[in-house]
Amino acid sequence: MTYQLYIGDRTFSSWSLRGWLMLEKFGLPHTTTMVGLYRGTMAADMAHLAPAKTVPAMQTPQGHVLTDSLAMAETLVEAHPALDLYPREPAARALARSMVAEMHGSFGALRSDCPNNMANTWLDFAASDAVKQDIARITYLWDMARLRHGADGPWLFGAYSLADVFYAPIACRMTTYGLDVSPTAQAYIDTTLAETSLRQWRAMGQTVTYDPFPYAPDLERAAWPIPDLIAARAIETGTSENATCPYSGKQVSHLLQTGGRVFGFCNAFCRDKTVNDPAAWPQFMALL
């Protein structure tokens, strides 16, 4: 009973992130396949998923194809009623559903002027009046959800829900472009950026490089904020403390060094995602 998820990219594809989070955060078994969004092969890679032509796309365990993130979310709600994908309380559930739908169909200025980019932040970005209006609406919704229904936890409705899935890339965009928000909204952004799954997604995305770099404005770059970042680097030679990869259990072949210690992994991807954010990976932190 495994879902098949098709994504385009981890650094730039905000909709792919939403598709992955709704499966990952609720413990739904899934495999992830990257299609050629930037290689020019996406149409061929997705030909067997007709009528899907954009990412994310999802194939259910029954073989049904979902071509849109909102359709994916609602299908998961139907298929897994025991999971709290939306809040249980009727008023909270209504607001969460409304916020998800508004996210799905609105905030065009923010999307257009602030392309999703989780590689770095940009300094001195000047937000247009239209972007500021989008921000005001989003933070109004966030503040309402937190005030009315967020007392039991740090997420929009206390516990993590599909509302947090859909607004996670918004929190990332606000970070990338240094957009001014209320203290309540900034606290929610900080919670989102510190969350393990989102950190893992970003760390995996940073194993890929692009030339030219997509969507780059004429602004100075700054580092992406990673809470309590542990410095690590890839090395070619050394003696690993562990004989098997912490993720796959296979024999190690690629090494990283952190704090004078050397650890091994079964391939470059396992090593490099760990180098990018060691604390995002509980399996590695158990070794460290």
What one-character-per-residue DSSP string does 66-98 give? E-SHHHHHHHHHHH-TTS-SS-SSHHHHHHHHH
End-to-end CA distance of the chain: 34
Between helix 90-105 and helix 129-149 the angle, nearest 10°, is: 160
Percent of the chain with pLDDT over 70: 100
- In this structure, the dihedral spanned by the alpha carbons of residues 234, 236, 240 and 243, taken in order and rounded to 10 degrees, is 100
Domain-located, residue 210: no
- Alpha carbon 37 to its chain centroid, in Å, reads 17
Residue 214 is given by DSSP the state: T
Q: Are strands 57-59 and 30-34 parallel, antiparallel or unpaired?
A: unpaired
The model's confidence at residue 233, banded by pLDDT at 50, 70 and 90, is very high
CB atoms within 10 A of CB 228: 8
- Do 195 and 98 have their domain in common? yes
pLDDT of residue 185: 95
The reply to whether 155 and 174 lie within a common domain is yes
pLDDT at 45: 94
pLDDT value of position 40: 87
List pLDDT tens digits, range 7-38.
999 999 999 999 999 999 999 999 999 999 88
Structural domain includes residue 16: yes
The reply to whether 94 and 189 lie within a common domain is yes
pLDDT score recorded for residue 157: 98
pTM tops 0.85, yes or no: yes
pLDDT at 126: 98
In a domain, residue 208? The reply is: no
Q: Smallest Cα–Cα separation from 35: which of 69, 10, 3, 60?
A: 10
Clarify whether residues 108 and 195 are in a common domain.
yes
- Burial (CB < 10 A; 0-12, 13-18, 19+), residue 208, is middle
**What is the model's pLDDT at position 1?**
85
**Which tokens sit at 269?**
């991807």
User: Which pLDDT value is given to residue 39?
Assistant: 86
Residues 149 and 72 in one domain: no
Domain membership of residue 120 (yes or no) is yes
Q: Are residues 186 and 242 in the same domain?
A: no
Within-domain flag for 126:
yes
DSSP secondary structure letter of residue 225: -
Give tens-digit pLDDT for 102-153: 999 999 999 999 999 999 999 999 999 999 999 999 999 999 999 999 999 9
Domain extent, residue 153, equals 90-200
As a whole number of angstroms, the distance between CA 277 and CA 272 comes to 9
Question: DSSP letter at 212?
Answer: S
Number of domains in the chain: 3
Q: What are the structure tokens assigned to 217, written together?
A: 């404005």
- Residue 212: inside a domain: no
Residue 201 has pLDDT above 90, yes or no: yes
Asked if residue 219 is part of any domain, the answer here is no
**Nearest one of 12, 4, 3 to 209, comparing CA atoms:** 12
Looking at the fold, whether 141 and 240 belong to one and the same domain comes out as: no
Q: Which of 17, 44, 79 is the last residue of a domain?
A: 79
Domain boundary at 159, 184, 200, which?
Answer: 200
